Amino acid sequence: MGKKTKIGIAAVAVGAAAWAGSKALVTTHPRPEKVALEYDRPVVLAHRGGSALAPENTMAAFKKAHALGVDGFEIDVRLTSDEELIVFHDEFLDRTTDGAGKVSDMTLEKIRTFDLGYHFEDLDGQNSYRGSNEKIVTLLELLEEFPEMYVNIDMKDSPETYEGSLMPSKLWRLIESAGAQDRVGVTSFFDEQIDRFNLYAQNRVAIGAGENEIRKAYAAFNSQFGHLYQPRADMFQIPIRSSVFNLVSPRFISYLGELNVPVHYWTINDPEAMRALVAAGAKGIITDRPDLAVEALKEAE
C-alpha cells in the first residue's frame, strides 16, 4: 500500500471518528414552540398587502387581501425622521409615490401628503388608484385594523444608520404595547438587527433568519455535520434560489422542520410553483397575488 493511500485512509478514519464523536456528544435542540407559528396547514402571506392587486403597503391592498382569505401579511417597516414606524419597503419614496426623498429624512405628516397609488398599474395596465387618497400606513394602524391576522415584519433600515440603530427597540416597544407578541414574526436581512431585536424581545416573539443564518444552515445541511447546527431562528423566509444555490429541497425543508423551523418562500406568484412548494413541505407562500395563492393552496390540501 502506497504512502498516499495510507494517508488518505487515515484522513477518512479521522473524519469518521470526529463525526461519530460529535454525534455522541452533541444533542440537537429544536426551537421552542411559538404561538404565531402554530398552524396545521401551509399559510398564504400577502406580500406588502398583495402588491399586484392594489398599491403596495396601502390599506386598500391589505383590505383586499384580507377579503380574499389570506392568513397574514408580509411587510417591511422603516423609521421616519420623527421616529414613527411605517409600513414601507423602499429607502426612497420615488418608486411608489408622487413624492421624492428619503423616508428617514421626512416626518410621517410629510410622507402622508404623497399619493401611494401614483405609479400603480392594475393587472390590465390601467391605474385605478391614482388620486384615490391612499396614504402611508403605520405599523400600529395595521396591527389595530387586523387584530386577528399574522403579520411578518421585516426591518429594512440598516443597523449602521441612525434610524436602523433605533429600529429594534422601537419595534419591540410597539409590539409589546399593542399586545401583538403572539401574532407577529420579526426578521431582517441583517442578522445583527434580529439579534438586537431579540435582546429586547427575549424570545417572546417569533424571529426569522438573516442572510448569515440561512447560509450557515444550508452549509450544515450539505455537510456531514448537520447535527451540529443549532438554529437561532424560529422560521426561514427564503427565495427559491440564492446565488447559484437551489433552496427548494424536500430534504432541506424536512431538515429544518425537524428543528421546528418552518420554511416560507418568497415571492411566489405562479400557482403551479405554489403547489410544488407545498408538496415539497413549505409551510408558507409569500405572494403578490393572494387571489391565486388562496385558490392554489385550497387545491393542494
CA 225 to CA 265: how far, in whole Å?
A: 25
CA 166 to CA 234: how far, in whole Å?
A: 23
Helices (H), the chain: 3-25, 59-68, 108-111, 139-145, 162-178, 191-201, 211-221, 250-258, 271-280, 290-300
* Backbone Cα Rg of the chain: 22
Cell of 279: 408538496
Question: Would you tell me how many other CB atoms lie within 10 Å of the CB of residue 223?
Answer: 12
Q: Position 23: which residue type?
A: K
- Going from the C-alpha of 48 to that of each of 1, 15, 51, 132, 246, the distances in angstroms are 64, 47, 6, 18, 25
Which of 73, 104, 97, 90 minimizes the C-alpha distance to 167? 104
Q: What is the helix, strand, coil percentage profile of the chain, to 5? A: 40, 15, 45
Residues tagged active-site: 47, 89
